[in-house]
Structures are given as structure tokens and as C-alpha cells.
A and B are shown apart, each in its own frame.
Chain A
Amino acid sequence: MKVTVNGTVLELDPGTSAIDAVFAAGFDVPYFCSQPYMSPIGACRMCLARIGAPRKERDGSWILDESSGEPKVFYFPAMMATCTTAIMEGMVIDTLSKDVKDAQNAMVEFTLINHPLDCPVCDKGGACELQDRAYEYGTGRSRFVFDKRHQEKHHPLSALITLDRERCIHCKRCVRYFEEVPGDEVLDFIERGGHTYIGTLEDGLPSNFTGNITDICPVGALLDATSRFRGRNWEYDHTFTTSLDDASGSAIVVDARTGRIERIKSGLNPEVNKSWIDDGIRFGHEYADDPERLKRPLLRRGEGFEEVSWEEAAAFVAERLAGFSGKDVGVAIRADATLEEGVAARALAQHVGTGQLDHAPRHGPSLVPLHGATVLDVATADALLVLGDVTEELPALDLRIKDALKGVSPPELFAHGVPIADLRLKERMPRASERLAVVAPYRVDLMKYAGAAVQVPVAGEAAWLQAMAAVAHAQPADEAVLGMPRAEAESLVRAWREAQKPIMIVGGFVLASEAATEAAASLAKAVGFRQVLVPPMANGVGLEITQVLPSHARYDYQGMLGGSAKALVLSNLNPAVDPAVAERLRSCELLVVHDLFLTETARLAHVVLPGTSGYEKDGTMVSLEGRFLPVRAAPVDAGEARDLTGVVKALGEAFGQRLEGRSVRSARRVLRKELGFDPTELHRLGLLRELPRRRAIVSLNVRETVVGDSLRVPSLARPEYLGRNAHLRAALGGPALRLHPEDAAARGLRTGDEVVVPVDGVPRRLEVRVSDAVPRGVSLVPATPEAPAGPAAVALDDLVHERRALEVA
């Protein structure tokens, strides 16, 4: 359609909003309420413009201007909000005339009459949309001589978000966000007219995605409580990087000031997380600044440790390693290490000549599916089968599933980026629940959107998938296993088969079992699903394809811990939480631990090397869809901490060898050869690649202890660091033992009780949470990197009550 903006003629697709036409033409118009990826509502009235369009006669011909012979432009009687106006053929938009300027001045003045001018102490100062727009479009003066509205200035909406009600300009972005994006309606306007303010019910903001409202608030009303009053915007160093908290590959911006991470904001990656991140990623950074972080290498001296230099520590390790036969050495790294660290670990293993190399946690089956799907495919899928609790396991995927239910395809990007006002989005859009089926061993959040929701028994996924596959092959299947009448199962299979883009999302509960993974693959084959497999940690896919893997199944991580290795190098792994493993490690001849903290395992080590957090290293990660994404180090003070390439560098120097992977650069030289591209040149939005499938290695990773009737469940807050993330812990509570109300009542447990309970023989300190989402007889405990999602034995009979919750009258 032809549109003229201030004399500039351009051709745009029908359905484009007038505000995007203005920006596409290279002009600016102020706005507060519109927000990319959300519905335009026309509340702030800042984007007013004079708009006209030609009209047609009844016979369909244009009404012509008599003097020029061109179609006559009829202007609308009032100014129109460009964000809610769709373009029409021949539309003329004027944003520069005096009338428009006057209206913009007036709207800025109206907006500012009740907005406190506390910009000098406001955290948003310098990055505030209102501040910018007031300078650009205001008169610089206010004629309002009365008292401004006084409301609460420090209202904690939750432990994570503080609201300054005086600063709110009622754009409704936050209220709309909760309804439209995560679908958790936890915030709304209260009161009306000049008294309107936003508020919640009593229990704060129960949603996994609350932090995003601090990003989209155009003013300093909604602020991240972890960074409030900690710096001015121009003092922050912004590092555009990728989150290593999960395998989504979500773009984040790490804001650091004077060597400390102050806050994390969402980055923009239209094909992955759009501009949303979950609270685990956003608020889970405080551990990186914990005072207990290791800053220097430690060397065992008797019962204690001595701080030494890297050279000393490396020389000690090199000397001791020389005494081992190569194959007695084990090297294991955590599955959120970068590709470069993987190359370094590989180089180290190669140098000492061992096949005992692994990353953990890791599933037995490959994480590269036969027919993979991308995150964008999920967002545009017309049939989805979700196996597991995606909302906790990979929250970014949860939001894209909800996109798919809305049925609005991702917008075409303009030169100015994501459409500011996508007119296809509406408030309170219906979600096509019939597109979604969810299968999990307990009631998960996504089930409320699901047309078909099946609660299977613990470890019952394999049986369900086999039964479903039987239905697909028109063979008999047990309705009790299906959890639904056969007719329903048949119509589900039919819907999957008829769908243009059916996608199966396979979570950790299924991947923990090889039988279930196989059953999922055969069901996928039977009905034509493409699969998304959820890795247990950020770079599981990457470390698999760079072959950070044992040469033989018995040399895997569990094998090393079980005694196949006499010397162990562990990076960011803490197996000694299990007393049995700790006992074995005590007899280990050399234990080198590379970690952030003096963990249970580090305490047993001969050498402890300080490691970097995911915000402090450069590298590359591969997300679950096979997207290579850059990880960049924020300028923070981590003492002498180094990532694994730094460890290998120091060891190499002590060996007198130039090992591959002795630096990020050196590791990338290797990667370039293996991958066919240079990771140094990766764009911020990443590079999507076809991935090679791994040869099957049977994993002993999940220890074959008693497979219990309980579950280790994924959580968006990393349990290994939750205790050090004070704000996140305050909001979410500690690591939880979730029980059915009847089970809890039978043992006299109440929400808030602190207990110590053996999980697979490992005593865990947990906080009781009673929930009817949990089936009777099942306890849910958080999965950890040492014990990822899957069936567990929770010995409730051996539970020790540490502290009882206060009696609530």
C-alpha cells in the first residue's frame, strides 16, 4: 500500500500500523504505551498525528480532487493515535505540522503533571523514555501549579520488583504484559481516573516471568530490586551476551559497574527469546558477587588450604599428574561450560592420554534429534506435544508455546526493527488450547492452556508414549495408560497427523530414560512430529557435538567417580554432596577442583582453582535448537579466577607444552577447523546450524540406585546457587520439597517447614511446600546438576524436622 508520511512516499504491507509507517519513513513520533511484541492499545495518546485518506465513490472509483485530479485526501476530524490506526491505500500521515506539535506538547505536559521530577535520584534517569520524550516533544515548562499526586514510593510488588506509584504514567505495559505474554494475570489497575494505580493481590507476583516488566516500564516506576539505587545508567557497562542458565540461548545484557554485576536485562533475539527472559536468568546473578567466591588458587596443606599463585598450583598438579598412567586420569566439566572450555578439557585429556573425559549432567541418548525443530518453529507450530514441565525447565520455550497458541506468526521486521505496534495482537486474545497437549507426572503450569493434559505416573512416560504409538499404528492400547478414552487419543493422533507443523517437546523426565526417549522418537516418527529435546544444562548440545565425551561408556562421569580414575580434574562439579561419593573421593590420589566456591568437593581437593561464572568468560554456546551463540565476559572483578582455558593454559605451561585450548583464541582455531566457521565472528543473534548426531553412548550418568516413586524436578532457579541469590530466594523460597496436602498432613508437615530428607541417599535441606499439583504419594524435590530431573527415592520416613513454620492464626 502506498502511504505518504510527511511527504515521503513508501510502499508498505497492508495491516501495518501508522506508527510503523512513520518510523519506516525515517520520522519519529513519541509513544509510551506501545511495546514491541505486545498489543497496541492507544492509551498514552502521545503518538497522535493528523491522518487523512482518500475515499471511494459508491461505484468504487476514488473521489478526485477537482483542482489536481488526484484522489482527494479527507482528513479525519480528530487526530488519530498512530499506534492503533492501520494504514490504508493512499493514506497521508502528518507528524510535523503545528497542530500535531501542539498536541504532542500538550500530551507531554499532561503526562508530566503527576510525574515526580525526581530524575536525579531515579534509577531510570538517563535511560527513561519519558525523560527523553519530554526533552524532545515537551515545551520544557509546566503550567501545573498544584500539588502532584502522592502515592506510595517504595511498594514491593514482590521481593524482586519495587514499584514507585508516583512515577507510574499508566501506560499499562506491565498489566498487559502479564496477560498477553506469560498469561499470568497477576497485576492490574486499581481505582480509576486520577487515582489509578497498579497493584497485585496479597501474594505478590506469582509468575516465572515478572522481571520483564522492569525492562518495559517506560519510566522508573517498576525497578529491579537487586539493582535499585546501585548506579546511574550511564555508569553501567552493558555486555550483550547469552545466558548460560539454560539451553534456550536467551539474549541478555549484563550491566556491570565498578567491577560488579548490578543487573541483568533482557536482550533482543527475535528468533529465540524475543525480548523476554525468565526470573531465574534475570535475578539469578547475585551469586557471582558472593563474598565467598574463590579469588586465588588453593593448595592443600595438611587439613587446610594455602593460597598460592596459579604457577605454583599448576606446577603441583603437573608434577603429580606425571606420576599417573594416562588412563587413570579423569577430566569432567559441567554441561554449561563453553565450547572453548570443552576444547580445553579435551586437550587436557589428550595430553595426559586418557579417555576418561565427560561433561555432566548428561543424558544417555543424543540431544540432537533426528528431525529437529527450532524455537521459531515452536512459536509457529499448529500442534504441540509437551512432555514435562517446560515452564520450569526451559521457560523461554514456555513463552514461545504460548505464542503458538495465539496463532499470530512472528512479525516481519522493519528497518527500525520489531514492529512497534503489531495490529494483529490484541488484549485478551483467545488461546487455541486444542493445539497443545501436555504430559507430565504432576500438574504443570502449561496444563491450564492445554486441550489435552495427561498426568502420568512417575516414570510412566515410556508406557504412555508406547501406548500412544500403538494408537497411531491402530494397535490395541490400554486406556488406563493413555489417561483418556481411546477415541480421544485417536482424535489427538489425527490432529497431530493433519497438522502442518506438529512439534514434540521432550523434557528431562523423558530424556532421563532411554526407553522413554526411544518411545518418544518412535511416536514422533509415527505421526510426523519434529522434536525439540531439552538439554539438562546450557551447553549440553555444544559439548556433545565437540565430543567432550568418554572413549568408553565405563569411563563416563559416574565411572570416574566410581573408581575408574585415580586422579580427577573436576570443573564446576560437586559430586561430594553425596556422602558415599565423598568417601570415595577422599581416597582419590589427586583431586583438582575448578569451581567458584569452596564446595563439598573442593574441600576434599588437593588443589582448588578459582573458576569464572557464566558472566565472566568469553566463549560460544550451542542452544537446544543448534544455534551457536556468543558468550561474552562482562567487565567484573573476579580476582584471579579463570575459565577452563585459563586452567589448561597454566597446566600447559607447567607441562612445558602449548596445548590446544590454552586460550579462547587457541580453542577457536580448533573449533574453526571442526565447525567450518570462526566463532569469533558470531553475530549476537547467533548462527543456526545443522548438527551432527552423536554415536550412542550408554550413560551411567543417572546413578542406578533405587528408582523411587518420587521425582527430581527442574526449576528455573539454579538450586546450586539459590542460597547465594538472596533476592531470588526471598521471592521463590528455598529449594522446595513439594508434597500433596494429604501426604503432608499425614506427616504433620506444613508449608514453610524446614526439613532434612534423604534424596537417593543424599541428605538435602529443603523447605516444605504443600501443593495439590503434586499427586498423592509423590514428593517433588529440585533437580541439581549432580542429580538431574528424573525419578528419585525420597525417604520421607527418615525426614528430620529442622524448623517448623510459624503457626498462622
Chain B
Amino acid sequence: MSDTASSAPKPITSRFDPRFEPTLYAHVGVPGSHTLSYYRSHGGYEAASKALGLEPKAVVDEVKASGLRGRGGAGFPTGVKWSFMPPVDGRQRFIVCNADESEPGSFKDRYLLEDDPHQLIEGMLIAGWAIQATIGVVYVRGEYYHAYGRLAAAIDEARAAGILGRGVLGSEFDFDLILHRGAGAYICGEETALMNSFEGLRANPRLKPPFPAQAGVYGLPSTINNVESFCAAVHIVARGAAWHAAMGTDDSKGMKLYQVSGPVARPGVYEVPMGATFRELIMELAGGPSEPAKAIIPGGSSTPLLPWSDATLDLPMDYGTMAKHRSMLGTGGVIVIPERKCIVDAYYNVVRFYAHESCGKCTPCREGSATWLPKMYQKLLAGQGTHEDLALMEDMVKHMRGTAFCPLADACAMPVQASFEHFRHEYEHLVDQGESLYPRRREWAA
């Protein structure tokens, strides 16, 4: 690759690049797109047939070469994860789809599940072939009832059409899907808690190692990926790794579904190549903020916010750049925070979410995220905070970070830390004046 790098065309990093063409969301919103006949008529299951004609290892290598990184938030290279599976030894192997999309600010998987369920089924079939797993598990968020219905219908259709079951698509390979509905717990988005929940156990994260590839569902070799990752794999197999790698920046390849929420003209999900800027997403695609904004949360509520500025808007949205600015790309769930919203209030809301969702397994999260921190916010917002309280909160979140069993406490602590870093004056104003710099507006009053 290196010898062609100099002559290689500039990578695609904008939706407005003429070479870019939406794939993941190409059919979302089209009436009838969830049916097998529609999917088939638009090239559906051709990638799966192609993959079944390749060696499993060739599929893994293709995905590796494409540079696809996990779209669930952590950004772990998907192909590398697939290659962690132990050699086939006769034990049952599982491919698991994490469709428990619960991060506040994230809603990309929902429309994939609702409007293009066959894309996911095809992706899982390809992944199942690649890692030689004959059972796929789709763990759908409990609240996604419509998506569950669509997916269940799609699985039935696929079974009837011989796409799932014995000898899929006329090959020798057996593959079937188990659809499992969650019961509305955020912690089930953590891969090992999801597996516990699927097995009927309490949804606590498990100790790693062993990682799922060694001991996953029922202690058997398993690989777990996000919905979007599976869907991306379909197009990587269909169009080739080079097509995928042509998009994005050095460390982040391919297309990505970004979600914009908050006071913007056109909130929603946008499929954009990796490395597009916030400006392109927020100002051009989403139509810009409808009122003055002061901060951007780049990837769902657990990612540290970035102050609203021209410099921030010009940052490319990729894994490396976000890390460099001490934030994370997460799920790409961009939330715009308006000027008039009190940051303390906003982060109380975030903290309340994590407090409610903490599983209670480990001390810093159960006592910090779930108990103490929300109480501190309540005290502040009641106008009874002191400067010592602010120092205490900063100290507390410092000790919640990196000490907990799973990333949930980090997901609570990191954004709070960032809010202190960038908006300390709002906290201090609340302490000094006893009321918020931006008092709550009665938005629904006449």
C-alpha cells in the first residue's frame, strides 16, 4: 500500500465529495424497505453469497484491511476482534449483535433495525461465516418494540427463504438467529453484561479476561459487534476493503452514522464519511443551531463535551482527533447544547441517567455515580452548594475514573469532569449567587 500512498487519491472525508455515496442508510425511510423482496431487489444478500464463496479467513482479512473500527463506541478494530476467535474445536460459537442502543444521544441503530433489518441479518451472516459461528444472537433494546417486530418479521422471512437455517443460501453453512429483547437496562450495552442478561442472569458485567472470544455466551467462544459494524461489513464485502478504506482519515476509515440532536434545524441521523467536520454535520447537514449554542457533545452523553467554537467546528470527527482533544467519538451521537441551558442542570440530567443505570456491582459506581454525585447536584441546584462542594465533586469524579469495574462509572465521571473544565464559571455562579446563570425557562408556558 505504501508505494501507492503518494499517488493515491485524497481520501473521502466529506459527504459532499462526489465519490461518496450513502450505503448504510441508503434505504432508510423508503416505504417497504424492511421487506425481503425490497432488500433483494436492491442487491440484498449478494454480499453474503460472495462471502460464503470465500474462505472465512479471507473475509476476516478483508474486514481487517478495510480499517473498520467498532461502531458501538469503543472503536476497536472489527477485523482484529474477529481474528481473536480461537481455532474451530467443535464447540458451539456465537456471533452476537449488540442492538441495545441506549446511550443518550444515540439513535442510529434504531432506524437500521426498523427500516433495514435484512442488512443486519446479512451482516451477521457474513460475520458468522467469518468466525464460523452457526448461531447469532441479536440483543435488542427493550424499548425498541417496533424495531423488534420488524426484525422478528425479517428473520421469519429470511428463514422461509432459506437465508437462515440449514445450508444458508444454498451453501453447506448452517446459520440461525436468536432474537432476544432486553428489559431496558443501559448496562446491557456492556458486552459481558449483555451476555449475562441473555443467559438469564443478573446483568452485571463480567470479569475480563477471559474476553468473549475465549468465554462469551454460555462460556463459549463468542464475538460481539454493534449493529452498524455488521451493516458496514456487508458493504465492505460487497465493494471491497479498498472502497471502504478510501473514506476517512488515517486512523478512522469508512462511513459513519452520525446523529445530531439538540436545538438544530434538522436533527437526525446522517451518513457521512469519517473525518467530516462538525461544521459539515451541524451547520450544513443539520441546518445549524436554531439558537446560540455553547457546547457540543461529540458522541453520546458519556463523551466529554467540547466548547462551541469555530475551532471545534472545524475538527474532523474521527477517533484520533477526538482522543487528542480529550474526548471520544463514541457512537457519533452529537448533542448540541444551547447557550440558555444551564450546564449544571444539563449535567445533573446526565448524572441522573447514570445513577439510574448503575448496576450496583462495584463501589465507586454504586456509591459515586448512583448515590453521592446526583445528591451533590441536587444540593447545588437547590442553591445550597459551596465552593468546597465543587472541590469535593471534582475529587469524587477523579476517583470514579479508572477505578470502577466497567466503563459505566467512567461514562459518568468523564463528562462531568469536562463540564467542570469548560464551564466551571457556571458552577461557581450557582454557588455564589444561589441560582443558575441560565435559569430554567418554562418552555411550555403560554
Which residues of A are in contact with B by a Cβ distance under 8 Å?
Answer: 40-46, 48, 77-79, 81, 84, 102-103, 106-107, 110-111, 113-114, 143-146, 149, 169-170, 172, 188-189, 191-196, 426-428, 430
Residues from chain A with a CB closer than 8 A to the CB of B201 are 428
Shortest Cβ distance from B215 into A: residue: A426
Query: In the bound complex, how far is the Cα of B392 from the Cα of A88, in angstroms?
Result: 36
- CB of B367 within 8 Å of the partner chain: yes
CA distance A146 to B187 in the complex (A): 27
A111 to B358 alpha-carbon distance, docked (Å): 15
Give every chain A residue within 8 A of B379 (Cβ-Cβ): 145-146
Q: Which residues from A are CB-within-8-Å of B235?
A: none
Q: Mark B254-277, 1 if CB is under 8 A from A, else 0.
A: 000000000000000000000000
For the complex, is B71 an interface residue (Cβ under 8 Å from A)? no
Residue of A nearest to B371 (CB): A194
Q: Among A84, A103, A106, find the residue whose CB has the most chain B CB atoms closer than 10 A.
A: A106
Q: Closest approach, in angstroms, between the C-beta of A83 and any C-beta of chain B? A: 10
Q: Point out the residues of chain B lying under 8 angstroms from A143, CB to CB.
A: 392
Q: Bound state CA distance, A188 and B360, in angstroms? A: 13
Q: How far is the CB of B192 from chain A (nearest CB, A)?
A: 11
Task: Output the nearest chain A residue to B360 by Cβ-Cβ distance.
Answer: A196
List, in ascending order, chain A residues with CB within 8 A of B355's CB.
193-194
A189-B203 Cα distance, complex, nearest whole Å: 11
B372 part of interface (Cβ distance < 8 Å): yes
Segment with Cβ contacts to A, from B114-122, B402-410, B434-442: B402-410
Complex Cα distance, B405 from A42, in Å, reads 7
Residues B371 and A42 in contact, CB atoms below 8 Å apart: no
Q: Can you name the residue of chain B whose Cβ is closest to the Cβ of A84? A: B207
The chain B residues found within 8 Å of chain A, CB to CB, are 185, 187, 201-202, 206-207, 219, 355-364, 366-372, 375, 379, 392, 395-396, 399, 401-405
Q: Could you list 25 examples of A-B contacts with CB < 8 Å?
A: A40-B207, A42-B207, A43-B363, A44-B363, A48-B403, A84-B207, A106-B396, A106-B403, A107-B399, A107-B403, A111-B367, A114-B371, A145-B379, A146-B372, A146-B379, A170-B361, A191-B360, A193-B369, A194-B358, A194-B370, A194-B371, A195-B360, A196-B359, A426-B207, A430-B219
Within the complex, which residue of A46, A110, A192, A430 is in contact with B372, where a contact is CB–CB below 8 Å? A110
Q: Which residues in B have their C-beta under 8 angstroms from that of A145? A: 379
- Which residues of A have CB within 8 Å of B359? 192-193, 196
What residue of chain B has the Cβ atom nearest to residue A39's Cβ? B207
Q: Is the CB of A114 within 8 A of B367?
A: yes
**In the bound complex, CA of A84 to CA of B355 (Å):** 25
Residues from chain B with Cβ under 8 Å of A110 in the complex: 363-364, 367-368, 372, 399
- CB neighbours of A46 from chain B (8 A): 363
Q: Which of A45, A146, A189, A426 contacts B360 (CB 8 A)?
A: A189
- Cβ of B207 and Cβ of A196 under 8 Å apart? no
Bound-state Cα–Cα, A430 to B218, Å: 10
B356: chain A residues at CB < 8 Å are: 193
Q: How far is the CA of A111 from the CA of B361 in the complex (A)?
A: 12
B363 touches A111 (CB 8 A): yes
Interface centre among B366, B375, B395, B401 (most CB of A within 10 A): B366
List, in ascending order, chain B residues with CB within 8 A of A102's CB.
Answer: 399
B360 contacts A170, C-beta separation under 8 Å: yes
* Bound complex: CA A144 to CA B370 (Å): 14
Chain A residues with CB under 8 Å of B371's CB are 113-114, 149, 193-194
Distance in angstroms from A94 CB to nearest chain B CB is: 15
B185 contacts which chain A residues (CB < 8 A)? Answer: 192
Q: Tell me the minimal C-beta distance from A178 to chain B in angstroms.
A: 14
User: Shortest 7 CB-CB distances between A and B: which pairs?
Assistant: A78-B402, A196-B360, A106-B399, A193-B370, A193-B358, A110-B367, A194-B370
Bound complex: CA of A172 vs CA of B359, how far in Å? 13
Chain B at the A interface: SS class: helix
Decide: A103 near B399, CB < 8 A? Known: A113-B371, A193-B358, A194-B355.
Answer: yes
Decide if B372 touches A113 in the complex (CB within 8 Å): yes
CB-based contact A188/B392 at 8 Å: no
Closest-CB distance, B56 to chain A (whole angstroms): 25
Tell me whether A45 and B357 are in contact in the complex, defined as CB-CB below 8 angstroms, given that A110-B372, A111-B367, A196-B366 are known contacts.
Answer: no
- For the complex, give the distance between the alpha carbons of A102 and B359 in Å: 25
Residues of B within 8 A of A196 (CB): 359-360, 366
| Cβ-defined contact, B404 with A193, below 8 A | no
With both beta carbons as reference points, the residue of chain B lying nearest to A32 in the complex is identified as B363
A192 to B358, Cβ gap below 8 A? yes
Known: A102-B399, A170-B366. A193 touches B207 (CB 8 A): no
Contact A193 B357 (CB under 8 A): yes
B403 and A79 within 8 A (CB): yes
Shortest CB-to-CB span from A39 to chain B, Å, is 8
Q: What is the bound-complex CA distance between A44 and B403, given in angstroms?
A: 10
A430, B361: Cα distance in complex, Å? 23
Residues of B within 8 A of A81 (CB): 405
- Closest residue of A by beta carbon distance from B378: A146
Give complex CA distance A755, B401 in Å: 64
Residues of A within 8 A of B404 (CB): 45
| In the bound complex, CA of A191 to CA of B202 (Å) | 10
Q: How far is the CB of B212 from chain A (nearest CB, A)?
A: 15
- Interface centre among A45, A146, A195, A196, by most chain B C-beta atoms within 10 angstroms, is A45
Instruction: Name the residue of chain A whose CB is nearest to the CB of B388.
Output: A143
Known: A110-B368, A430-B219. A44 touches B399 (CB 8 A): no
CA A8 to CA B379, docked complex, whole Å: 47
Query: Whole-angstrom distance between the alpha carbons of A426 and B403 in the complex?
Result: 21
Out of A45, A114, A427, which one reaches B405, CB within 8 Å? Answer: A45
**Beta-carbon contact of A43 and B392 below 8 Å:** no
In the assembled complex, the Cα of A193 lies from the Cα of B367 at a distance in Å of 8
* Bound complex: CA A631 to CA B147 (Å): 68
- Which residue from A40, A103, A193 sits with its C-beta under 8 Å from B403? A103
Name which residue of chain B comes closest to A149, CB basis: B371
17 additional contacts, CB 8 Å, given A79-B402, A106-B399, A188-B202? Answer: A41-B207, A42-B207, A42-B405, A77-B402, A79-B403, A107-B399, A111-B367, A114-B371, A146-B379, A189-B360, A192-B185, A192-B360, A193-B369, A193-B370, A195-B360, A196-B360, A428-B219
Q: How far is the CB of B435 from chain A (nearest CB, A)?
A: 21
Given the complex of chains A and B, what is the CA–CA distance between A79 and B369 in angstroms? 18
- Smallest Cβ distance from A38 to chain B, in angstroms? 13
**CA distance in complex: A111, B368 (Å):** 9
Selected from A78, A107, A430, the residue in CB contact (under 8 A) with B363 is A107
Known A-B contacts A42-B207, A149-B371, A193-B370; A78 and B403 likewise in contact (beta carbons under 8 Å)? yes
| Cβ of B219 to closest chain A Cβ, rounded Å | 7
Shortest Cβ gap from A576 to chain B (Å): 54
Bound-state Cα–Cα, A149 to B370, Å: 12
B366 in complex: contacting residue of A146, A188, A194, A427, CB < 8 Å: A194
**B122 CB, nearest partner CB in chain A, Å:** 34
Nearest-neighbour CB distance to chain A for B364, whole angstroms, equals 6
Chain A residue contacts of B366, Cβ below 8 A: 170, 193-194, 196
Q: For residue B396, which residues in chain A have a CB less than 8 angstroms away from its CB?
A: 106
**How far is A430 from B91 in the complex, measured between Cα atoms in Å?**
15
* Distance between Cα atoms of A196 and B206 in the complex (Å): 17
> How far is B207's CA from A149's CA once the two chains are assembled, in angstroms?
28
In the complex, what residues of B have CB within 8 A of residue A428's CB?
201, 219
What distance in Å separates the Cβ of B282 from its nearest Cβ neighbour in chain A? 31
Q: CA A91 – CA B202 in complex, angstroms?
A: 34
| Bound-state Cα–Cα, A428 to B202, Å | 12
**Are A107 and B364 in touch, CB under 8 angstroms?**
yes
Q: Roughly how many angstroms separate A145 CA and B355 CA in the complex, as a whole number? A: 18
Given A170-B360, A430-B219; A189-B370 close (CB under 8 Å): no
Chain A residue nearest to B375 (CB atoms) is A146
Q: Which residues of A contact B202 (CB under 8 A)?
A: 188-189
Residues of A within 8 A of B187 (CB): 192
CB distance from A183 to the nearest CB of B (A): 15
Cα of A684 to Cα of B355 in the assembled complex, Å: 49
Closest-by-CB residue of B relative to A83 is B207
Contacts of B372 in A (CB 8 A): 110, 113, 144, 146
* CA A188 to CA B362, docked complex, whole Å: 15
- Would you give the shortest CB distance from B402 to chain A, in whole angstroms? 3
Give the distance in Å from the alpha carbon of A191 to the alpha carbon of B370 in the complex.
Answer: 13
